[in-house]
Amino acid sequence: MKLIERILEVARTYPERVVVAEKERDYTYHELLIAIKQISQELAKKAKNERPVFVFGKNDFLTLATMLAVNLTGRAYIPVDAHTPFERTEMILNAAKPSAVIVTAPVADKFDSLLQERIEFFEFDAALKEDEITELDTTQAVSGDETNYIIYTSGTTGVPKGVAVSHDNLLSFTNWMNTSFEHIEGNQILEQALYSFDLSIFSIYPSLTTGGSLVTLSREETINFKLLFERLNRSVINTWISTPSFVDICLLDPSFVAEKHPELTQFIFCGEELTHKTAQKLLAAFPEAAIYNTYGPTEATGAISSVRVTDELLAAYSRVPIGKAKSGVELRIVDDELIIVGDSVAKGYFENPVKTAEAFFELDGKRAYHTGDAGFIDEQGIFNYNGRIDFQVKFNGFRIELQDIESHLLSLPEVEKAVVLAKENDFHKVVALVAVLVVNEKTPDRAYTKNLKTELAPLIMDYMMPTKFVYLEDFPLNQNGKIDRKLLAAQVFGENN
């Protein structure tokens, strides 16, 4: 059965259930059927060809319905958040050459000419009759190896590339999510990640295929802590899905504890390293909850490994491991690099055979992907993440893993957050290692730094000792809710360095 068929079946089974809870209003599965019907009809009339459809909107009901409607017509959707900078939007549009552009939020003046030929969907006709909805035709709908969506990577490590994920990649991911974590009937799932970030599929597809509800945060709520805490305190959430950096923000609110949120019983993280510190704080706040660390790049469809985080696990590991591979996937270590093999590996980079050939390959007749992440497998058969290979630098002739230093800094009780940056000269030679820290001291002075160094010294090789310590009140996050290392480097070194 195609994913969209399952979703439509669920919608017909639970028409009155809430599918999306936005800040201002709830939408039902019945309304989802109506919106899909209207948008797909309009698209079928107006699309120029069978190419993907550019979907420009916010994280809301209408954008979700649009993405599903696009799949119903047999096309792939490209989700682009309405707050995406102009240059990036233009770059994606030029690369995609879409068959249609659908916008679900008013377009800012600056984007008006760029998105000139657009189909606007700001509302739907809620009065559509029952029989018209049941007529939804799925014969054209995306299936098998056809592309389900194209998500552009954030570009932390270069020019953004469009990852083309097939229907079967997504089906395998959804089946895994639905069977490998806690089963919660009528699951109310947090939708924090933007649709343009593949962490969003962790919420969308498990929810829609099981009759769950998406508790969707607006942009205002994710950037304004007061609004965020207000919303969390008046919402019922069973399953929490976010980046670790996002839950760090929520842990600042004293009411983010099990006593105030007894219904919040499951946490699933992905997208960046879950630090020991964050995991410990969360376990202290929600001692009974099932907490999972999952790992994977966009190129392998959401996540491909997981581990339950418990006090025992934290006692046994100084760095939270990434666990064991999902069914259908094999993780291998080749030359210290994590290689993903199997049915989660995406089709490649959209219409970019050169970049695809650099990262994707065949192994024993299966699709395989070079993650660019360093890792190892331990005696328990558990995979461990050792940082990104491109965050390894040569300093004074020694090979140094910046994230290794970070994890040791984080093991010190007074360090809340840590990023180590390599400062390069004009010839790309590393001339300094700069530890950028958030600490529990308002005005750290020289003596404070000296003390930190003394504490750090027995934990690392002496050539790994940062040459400079910089203290910040907090770290900037990118629009995907991960620590923004590029912006941090610009803040610390100045724009031209």
Question: CA 348, CA 299: separation in Å to the nearest integer?
Answer: 7
- Binding residue for ligand ATP (CB under 6 A) from 156, 235, 280, 411? 156
- Decide if residue 306 touches ligand ATP (CB under 6 A): no
- Binding residue for ligand ATP (CB under 6 A) from 36, 270, 283, 368? 270
Check the annotation: does 388 bind a ligand.
yes
- Binding residue for ligand ATP (CB under 6 A) from 272, 351, 424, 455? 272
CB nearer ligand ATP, residue 285 or residue 307 = 307
Q: What is the CA radius of gyration of the chain?
A: 23
What is the DSSP pairing of strand 239-242 with strand 213-216? Answer: unpaired
Check the annotation: does 310 bind a ligand.
no
- Binding residue for ligand ATP (CB under 6 A) from 47, 214, 274, 374? 274
- Decide if residue 157 touches ligand ATP (CB under 6 A): yes
Check the annotation: does 365 bind a ligand.
no
- Binding residue for ligand ATP (CB under 6 A) from 240, 295, 469, 475? 295
Check the annotation: does 294 bind a ligand.
yes
Nearest by Cα to 377 from 443, 333, 318, 315: 333
Distances (CA, A) of 474 to 19, 106, 488: 35, 32, 10
Count the Cβ atoms, other than its own, within 10 Å of residue 329.
Answer: 23
Place of tokens 């300094």: 432
Place of tokens 């395998």: 172
Which segment (99-107, 172-180, 205-213, 290-298) binds ligand ATP by CB under 6 A? Answer: 290-298
Beta strand ranges found along 366-445 (DSSP E): 366-377, 383-388, 392-395, 398-401, 415-424, 430-439
Check the annotation: does 84 bind a ligand.
no
Q: What residues from 351 to 390 belong to the interface with ligand ATP (CB under 6 A)? A: 371, 373, 385, 388
Token representation of residue 199: 């962490």
Nearest by Cα to 408 from 450, 462, 445, 371: 462
Check the annotation: does 198 bind a ligand.
yes
- Binding residue for ligand ATP (CB under 6 A) from 322, 436, 437, 477? 322
Check the annotation: does 297 bind a ligand.
yes
The answer for residues whose C-beta is within 8 angstroms of residue 113's C-beta and 6 or more apart is none
Q: Do 153 and 161 meet the contact criterion of CB atoms below 8 Å apart? A: yes
What is the DSSP pairing of strand 348-349 with strand 324-325? Answer: unpaired
- Decide if residue 271 touches ligand ATP (CB under 6 A): yes
Which segment (252-260, 291-299, 353-361, 442-450) binds ligand ATP by CB under 6 A? Answer: 291-299
- Decide if residue 191 touches ligand ATP (CB under 6 A): no
| Binding residue positions | 153-154, 198, 293-298, 373, 385-388, 482
Task: Please report, as ranges, the residues that interact with ligand ATP according to CB under 6 A.
Answer: 153-157, 270-274, 293-295, 297-298, 322, 371, 373, 385, 388
| Binding residue positions for ATP | 153-154, 293-298, 373, 385-388, 482
